[in-house]
Amino acid sequence: MEPILKARGLVKRFGRVTALNRCDFDLYPGEILAVIGDNGAGKSVMIKSLSGAVQPDEGEVWLDGKPTRFASPIEARGAGIETVYQTLAMSPALSIADNMFMGREIRQPGVMGKWLRRLDKQAMEKFSREKLSELGLMTIQNINQAVETLSGGQRQGIAVARAAAFGSKVIILDEPTAALGVKEGRRVLELILDVRSRGIPIILISHNMPHVFEVADRIHVHRLGQRLCVINPKDYTMSDAVAFMTGAKEPPEAAIAA
């Protein structure tokens, strides 16, 4: 099977700091791929190279077998790759609905929308409310609330809802459950499984080993700016995975090839 998203030999340096050191990456159709690694291993930079937020110095990326080079996150989004960044990418003073539809606003039908470019705020609010309810974010009282008035977990929930609602090819989640409560974290996992059942593959970066081992089909272990190995969660334990990513244990030969 051909990977839907593939990268070979990605290199990214920030001055004298090497963030990615000839990194490879494969995501297959319909799978949940977890990416684990120590802090500073280069997970986020790898993700940003795939989503267009960072341009790698060397290396190539293929989407659907075609060589691709995203100059900006907007291009990647146009190609159907939706990302939840660690920083969440929200405008604090704007409302939840404004943030959900940032860069893909719905205009009113007819003359008002076409010539006066008037936004259909009602439709956007209704859609946002539905998506938040799907995620179980019932503690949000007002969909027109400014995002700055929400808690960190609620903001993260909105970012996840936004990605899940609009991603059509690949959804990338960078630490999506870090700030969430028990119930919302569980909902995000259910949502991830739900998205996979719609046939959309997911890249999940997480430090939460129980979550990773529960939902992931394969686990990409990242170490020192490289893919160290790829393991099947059914064949290894959580302590094995932690040992690999911290360098306490050498990864098995077979996993390196994968």
- Give the residue from 214, 204, 141 showing the smallest Cα distance to 177: 204
Question: Which one among 9, 14, 104, 193 touches another protein, defined by CB under 8 A?
Answer: 104
Q: Per CB under 8 A, does 139 bind another protein?
A: yes
Rounded Cα gap, residues 9 and 23, in angstroms: 5
Helices (H) and strands (E) in the chain — how many of each? 10, 10
CA distances from 205 to 48, 92, 127, 133, 222 (A): 12, 24, 27, 24, 10
Question: Which one among 207, 209, 224, 252 touches another protein, defined by CB under 8 A?
Answer: 209
Q: Which residues have C-beta within 8 Å of that of residue 256, sequence separation ≥ 6? A: 228, 229
Least Å from the CB of residue 89 to another protein: 4
Q: Which residues have C-beta within 8 Å of that of residue 188, sequence separation ≥ 6? A: 135, 157, 160, 173, 176, 177, 180
Rounded Cα gap, residues 243 and 246, in angstroms: 5
Q: Per CB under 8 A, does 102 bind another protein?
A: yes
Structure letter (DSSP) for residue 40 = T
Q: Per CB under 8 A, does 230 bind another protein?
A: no
Q: Which stretch binds another protein (CB under 8 A): 14-22, 94-102, 220-228, 244-252?
A: 94-102
Q: Per CB under 8 A, does 140 bind another protein?
A: yes
Q: Per CB under 8 A, does 169 bind another protein?
A: no
- Give the residue from 98, 135, 133, 91 showing the smallest Cα distance to 119: 98
Q: Per CB under 8 A, does 74 bind another protein?
A: yes
Rounded Cα gap, residues 135 and 181, in angstroms: 12
Q: Per CB under 8 A, does 87 bind another protein?
A: yes
Closer to another protein by CB, 132 or 230: give it. Answer: 132
Beta bridge pairs of residue 58: 11
Q: Per CB under 8 A, does 249 bind another protein?
A: no
Q: Which stretch binds another protein (CB under 8 A): 23-31, 137-145, 198-206, 222-230?
A: 137-145
- Give the residue from 233, 188, 200 showing the smallest Cα distance to 214: 233
Q: Per CB under 8 A, does 55 bind another protein?
A: no
Q: Per CB under 8 A, does 123 bind another protein?
A: no
Question: Which one among 92, 109, 152, 247 touches another protein, defined by CB under 8 A?
Answer: 92
Closer to another protein by CB, 2 or 142: give it. Answer: 142
Least Å from the CB of residue 22 to another protein: 26
Residues contributing to the site for another protein (CB under 8 A) = 53, 72-74, 77, 83, 85, 87-94, 98-99, 102-105, 107, 116-119, 121, 133, 136, 138-141, 148-149, 182-183, 185-186, 209-210, 237-240
